[in-house]
Amino acid sequence: MPRFLGLVLFLLISAPAANADDGYRLWLKYDLISNPALRKEYASIARFITCSENDPVSKTACLELQAGLQGLLGKPVPVQSSGFKPGTIELVLLPKGTPDTDNLGKDGFKIQPGRGRTAILAAHPSGLLYGAFEFLRYLQTEGKPGELSGVRRPRVQLRMLNHWDNPLGTIERGYAGASLWKWYELPETIDPRYRDYARANASIGINAVVLNNVNASARFLTPEYLPKVKALADVLRPYGIKVFLSINFASPKTLGKLKTSDPLDPQVRAWWQEKVREVYSYVPDFGGFLVKANSEGEPGPQEHGRTHADGANMLAEAFRPHGGLVIWRAFVYGPDPKGDRFKEAYQEFKPLDGQFAPNVIVQVKNGPIDFQPREPFHPLFGAMPKTPLAMEFQITQEYLGFSTNLVFLAPLFKECLDSDTYARGKGSTVARVIDGSVHDYPVTVMAGVANTGSDRNWTWHSMSQANWYAFGRLAWDHQLSSARIAEEWARMTLTQDPSAVATIKDILLGSRETYVRFTTPMGLHHIMGQGIHFGPEPWLARSARPDWTSIYYHRADTVGLGFDRTPQGSNALSLYAPETQQPWSDPNSCALPYLLWFHHVPWDKPLSSGRTLWDELCLQYYAGTDEVAAMQARWETVQPHVDPEWFADVRGRLAVQHREALHWRDACVLYFQTFSRKPLPPGLNPPKRTLEEMKRIVEIYQLR
């Protein structure tokens, strides 16, 4: 299929024709609605479009609405600048002072049917854009009458993708090809893919993008790269998307040739102020900086005897005249073999609460270790009432099987968002902390580490597109259910057949729990291969740091398994509110998914399942592998209703996933058996390979 040459051309030829679906169109498939009666009903309310605004974002909203309706309805939908006819959709920008404007906020909108027309009302152009996409989503998912009207506004102000893209075109933890950004062609050549990326983000409410890796090169702040950043900002702006950059904290020395990067040094402060001014000369609506400092070897203020607050506030001062933000990552930890990495970000940042400038946001990963398949929520959430905290999720599947495994992440995101911090009593969920409801944060942010790349279908594994979609929908409204998001995506992307949609939804909703079972059941964590973080390596005992090994976390011995984080162990449990601690504090009542996160449990201990720890561990590994086989069988049933290219892609990857699940099962069961010294539970067939054979297989994974 030829590459599309621009927005209008892309939209107008969005009908599938005879070509197979290669995944490029994502969920923005404005194909003809196959149900004639439904198509007729929708056509009666979408015969004309009125759009009188001339700003770039409003124009984009009008173009998207027109082209989407023409594809879905199979006939032209004229645009007029004024006037009224029955069946008109009006895009209306409300004047300042209108009663609805305060209620809608910057990005909200109201869809108001009645009197032969449908009005999409907003206080700002971005609201019109999001309203247009909501209207199209209603048609794509075959919405029912009465579902369309009402006010929608985002619960979080900045809904952001963090790209871990590098200057040379690689992506750290990227599994879908090279970087989207063709840095060496910019700014002269603008790939049409940039615009298609922007419209995909806008369609799910994403309004901010960090272009480069948090392990940042200072090169991005040079006159060589700033024109390239400007070119991308110019493409993204009509879709309501602001550009941010990750920066290297040592840039004053690297670029400015200063003797120090000490944030309290006057020359350093002056250098950053001038550099920020220079950035804004290229991108007047620039969003700000994302900073990884004093983490995993990255430079930061602590090298100069200063705190994270000192470093963040120095940058915040430079941004204050321009209205920009500093987003400071809390992912910090030291290599202490006797410590607990679980506690270290809390111990560093909690004492700094209230010391950060008003335009600083501290960005916290969803869990205390590092994007594991399952983690308890990070204890910093709810613990910093005076400092806005941003959520950082990972959409790319660094610890979740890369792009050979089908793992739908909405349940993982929801598990964290719905957790109760009890910061101000019951109901102080993580979601309500980050949206500002609990502590009245003036700025709110939810970020996701992007899973996109240069592969034609954007995410390599076709089904991983659902994770990009899910992140955007939850960043807009964290109260949406995983089931609703899965059904929306399936209907917009794959099929409208009710039976097939139900099957695909069930596969998606169960996939994350299946992955946990065959990799890290019952609270095991960080036992994957080092370096690339792929495949099982529970025997890993040596690395550059003790907390990069597996034995640091699972603590297996002849007595039992698991990391004791009670008062008798590291006491990491004490970082949570008493109400949060209580369900996790007693190994006799702790829910099995978190048991080994918080307790070192004897192999013979009976669990709530009625089985011993050893028997339950083995059964979980075997059940997870069997569930992958069941996913394969269920996928076969949707073949008549899914595009052949899509179907074949997913079928092949599920076969790979089953092979990898067997590797995980056999490696972990055989390794932990050397400590438990117990036979497998009755009914389970022993692995056909030895532990030494599994170690040789897994060693191949780590070759680079």
pLDDT on residue 116:
83
**Rounded average pLDDT over 611-625:** 98
Residue 658 has pLDDT above 80, yes or no: yes
Which of 563, 570, 531, 565 lies closest to 549, judged by CA? 531
- Among 122, 152, 182, give the residue marking a domain's end: 152
- Among 125, 152, 179, give the residue marking a domain's end: 152
172 included as an active-site residue: no
CA distance 146 to 126: 24
222 and 367 inside one domain: yes
260 and 134 inside one domain: no
Residues 6+ apart with CB under 8 A from 286: 233, 242, 243, 244, 279, 280, 322, 324
* CATH number for 389: 3.20.20.80
In a domain, 106, yes or no: yes
358 and 218 inside one domain: yes
- Among 418, 445, 474, give the residue marking a domain's end: 474
The DSSP output letter for 180 is S
pLDDT on residue 101:
80
In a domain, 494, yes or no: no
Q: Are residues 260 and 304 in contact, defined by beta-carbon separation less than 8 angstroms?
A: yes
CA distance 208 to 200: 13
In a domain, 482, yes or no: no
Q: Are residues 534 and 561 in contact, defined by beta-carbon separation less than 8 angstroms?
A: no
Residue 555 has pLDDT above 90, yes or no: yes
* CATH number for 532: 3.90.1330.10
206 and 340 inside one domain: yes
370 included as an active-site residue: yes
Question: Which residues span the domain enclosing 644?
Answer: 516-701
181 and 266 inside one domain: yes
Give the number of other CB atoms < 10 A from CB of residue 605: 16
224 included as an active-site residue: no
The lowest-confidence range among 24-28, 330-334, 598-602 is 330-334
In a domain, 64, yes or no: yes
Q: Are residues 340 and 303 in contact, defined by beta-carbon separation less than 8 angstroms?
A: no
391 and 290 inside one domain: yes
Which of 446, 448, 488, 445 lies closest to 466, judged by CA? 488
Q: What is the percent of the chain where pLDDT is above 70? A: 97
* Domain count along the chain: 3
91 and 181 inside one domain: no
544 and 654 inside one domain: yes
Look over the chain and give the mean of its residue pLDDT values, rounded to a whole number: 95
Q: Are residues 387 and 362 in contact, defined by beta-carbon separation less than 8 angstroms?
A: yes
Q: Are residues 174 and 454 in contact, defined by beta-carbon separation less than 8 angstroms?
A: no
Helix (H) or strand (E) holding 700: helix 691-701
544 and 650 inside one domain: yes
Residue 296 has pLDDT above 50, yes or no: yes
More confident residue, 580 or 5: 580
124 and 97 inside one domain: yes
3-state DSSP assignment of residue 113: strand
* CATH number for 33: 3.30.379.10
Q: Are residues 391 and 415 in contact, defined by beta-carbon separation less than 8 angstroms?
A: no
Residue 14: pLDDT band by 50, 70, 90 thresholds? very low
The lowest-confidence range among 114-118, 269-273, 438-442, 685-689 is 114-118
In a domain, 184, yes or no: yes
pLDDT on residue 685:
96
128 and 204 inside one domain: no
In a domain, 157, yes or no: no
In a domain, 555, yes or no: yes
pLDDT on residue 19:
64
Catalytic residue among 370, 420, 477, 626: 370
Catalytic residue among 165, 298, 398, 564: 398
In a domain, 570, yes or no: yes
pLDDT on residue 6:
35
Residue-wise pLDDT for 127-186, tens only, equals 999 999 999 999 999 987 678 889 999 999 999 999 999 999 999 999 999 999 999 999
Residue 5 has pLDDT above 80, yes or no: no
pLDDT on residue 539:
98
Q: Are residues 493 and 16 in contact, defined by beta-carbon separation less than 8 angstroms?
A: no
Catalytic residue among 41, 185, 296, 586: 296
CA distance 625 to 517: 8
pLDDT on residue 265:
98
Give the number of other CB atoms < 10 A from CB of residue 108: 21
Residue 4 has pLDDT above 50, yes or no: no
Q: Are residues 208 and 158 in contact, defined by beta-carbon separation less than 8 angstroms?
A: yes
Euclidean distance between the first and the last CA atom of the chain, given in angstroms as a whole number: 33
469 and 524 inside one domain: no
Residue-wise pLDDT for 170-200, tens only, equals 999 999 999 999 999 999 999 999 999 999 9
